[in-house]
Amino acid sequence: MIACLRLFTALCLAALLAACASSPSSSLGELPRTPDASIEQLLEQATQAKTPEKAALLRLSAADLAYRQGNAGQSAQILQQVPMEQLKPGQQIFASTLSAELAMTRNQPKAALTALSHPSLQHLSEMPEDQQVRTGTVHARALEADGQTLAAARERIFIAPMLKGEAASKNHEAIWTLIASLPTDQLQPNTSDDLGGWMGLALAVKTAGTLEQQQAAIDAWRAQNPKHPAAINLPLPLTKLKELASQPLSKIALLLPQDGPLAAVGKALREGFMAAHYQAQQAGQKPPAIEFYDSSKLTSMDEFYRKAQADGVQLVVGPLEKPLVKQLSTRPQLPITTLALNYSEGDQGPAQLFQFGLAAEDEAREVSRRARADGLHRAAIMVPKGEWGERVLRAFSQDWQANGGSIVATERVDQPVQLAQQIADMFQLRQSEARAKSLQNAAGTNVAAQPSRRQDIEFIFLAATPQQAQQIKPTLNFQYAGDVPVYATSHVYSASGDVNQYNDMNGIRFCETPWLLETSDPLRQQVVAQWPQAAGSLGRLYAMGVDAYRLAPRLGQLKALPDSRIEGESGSLGMTQTQRVVRQLPWAQFVSGQVQRLPDTPR
């Protein structure tokens, strides 16, 4: 009998311990469970509840149910009726998490982070694992959306041991995406925990050059960290790198126009591409074979791909023509991986399509980045009237305002005779002159008053031709605005060596390709010796051809490693999630008729 009682007592104690382990302690409060009732029934029960605390919990359950059913608006309305002070700490954690999830549906990461800063969150580790995961997941999403990449990775690493199945796999891949997107100087693997291991892996891969070197770096890291989650389950992008390393590129199709209006552009790109190919041969590498195709004689892209496949082509570089690139971007898939040398209008294309070009929009965003780095906040804009100017204006404005900058004036330049008036309008000089005249009339005598310009313009973003810039800068000087910094795209620089032209643009800062700024580059010197035109404005196309060759075998690397870069002749090259190669550029300034390189700023 005593033995039976002891057994019964032991079973009751085990059940009690199990119950405590699966729910928060009574001091934290009962959490809402998935209810059998509808939202309307829960709200009705809340109105009939005997205590405010019970009513608050029922409304919290209704708000959560509405969120789970995809009705964020209704959920937010119900949650507003739940007084936090009537909830216990565990319930407050639940409510704060739901509030953060609702903020993220509105794309408001800062509001989500504010919700998750509630004092009750200090008890999160005492909550059931599923609640810790739910809170940690939305916290990681909010941190990532707010630009706090490292903190987001830490949050995901914390919840990783609590996850299973598909959720664990998605979180694992998300950790790698976050860590791999960190700049190299932020990868400091000086700890022995999981975070230090992730950083060590990313640093090893990013600092290796070729696919083969990256593969060796991954293998070495795995050997040193055999128990790390990423060693046990290599992230998918690194698995793809492994596959790429086992499939070396042996034949490339170069698809460029040899006749028609784009023949000269195609010729410069082709000569730059082949210069890089011959340089690789001279360095003792085993570069892929190059097969030439004339896009100006194409009758069908399908026919071209059939011919290229029959010829054993593994990668297509081209086409250059925008209509052909647009056509490719609308297809669900391509038979051969293709690096187009222009951009389509849409953002997304098939998985096999990559796009690369000398986009003016890249340079507009580069101006935005440089001005921010120089501590500027308020911009005026001058662009040419027309479609090209509008594209550049849109790219600059979106990037500038998304990063906290303001635009105080915009002028679209068209006729030279209107330039002085446009600049006077931009700086509100006519109003100043009117005030001076009014003062003279009131005083009844001549008053020595120099017109004063508005003072809230910190710099001018200029997208213009050299001829327009030659007129704009002296006019700014004449209109009392010569001291306002001017940041320009490369279009102001003709690379002609005309000192008189550059004198008229004294002080203008502009971004430019390394090819035209770093004249001591050995490959550039070889190319210019053979094709002198590569030293002028056509040099940008030669640089693009060189970079197209260097990009060809590394597209998979850029895709697999977010934020990794290739230091090219047309700029520092990275890749967006939509597989567009984008450029960042060095800077120079016109000083006394000479082009003077400016120091780089942190990126």
Q: Which tens digit of pLDDT belongs to each residue from 578-592?
A: 999 999 899 999 998
Half-sphere exposure of 344 (CA within 13 A, CB side): 24
Phi (first) and psi of residue 454, to 5 degrees = -60, 150
Number of H helices, E strands in the chain: 26, 15
CA distance 115 to 76: 13
**Count of beta carbons in the 10 Å neighbourhood of residue 312:** 11
Q: Is 217 left (phi over 0), alpha (psi -120 to 50) or beta?
A: alpha
CA distance 534 to 305: 32
What secondary structure letter does DSSP report for 130?
H
CA distance 430 to 381: 19
Contact between residue 224 and residue 202 where contact means Cβ atoms under 8 Å apart? no
DSSP SS3 for 587: strand
User: What token pair was written down for 101?
Assistant: 């999830």
Contact between residue 271 and residue 527 where contact means Cβ atoms under 8 Å apart? yes
Q: Which parts of the chain have pLDDT scores under 70?
A: 1-26, 29, 34-35, 209, 429-453, 480, 562-563, 602-603
What secondary structure letter does DSSP report for 127?
S
**Contact residues for 100 (Cβ-Cβ < 8 A; gap 6+):** 111, 112, 113, 115, 116, 135, 138, 139, 142
Tell me the DSSP string of 73-105. Answer: HHHHHHHTTS-GGGS-HHHHHHHHHHHHHHHHH
CA distance 9 to 3: 10
User: What token pair was written down for 26?
Assistant: 């009574």
**% of the chain with per-residue pLDDT over 70:** 89
The dihedral of CA 170, 174, 175, 180: what is its sign? Answer: positive
**Contact residues for 408 (Cβ-Cβ < 8 A; gap 6+):** 378, 379, 380, 454, 456, 457
Widest CA span in the chain: 121
Domains, the chain, ranges and CATH? Answer: 27-147 (1.25.40.10), 248-355+519-573 (3.40.50.2300), 361-512+590-596 (3.40.50.2300)
Tell me the DSSP string of 138-184. Answer: HHHHHHHHTT-HHHHHHHHHHHGGG--HHHHHHHHHHHHHHHHTS-G
Q: What is the reported pTM?
A: 0.69
CA distance 548 to 245: 19
**Contact residues for 277 (Cβ-Cβ < 8 A; gap 6+):** 287, 290, 549
> What is the reported pLDDT for 449?
47
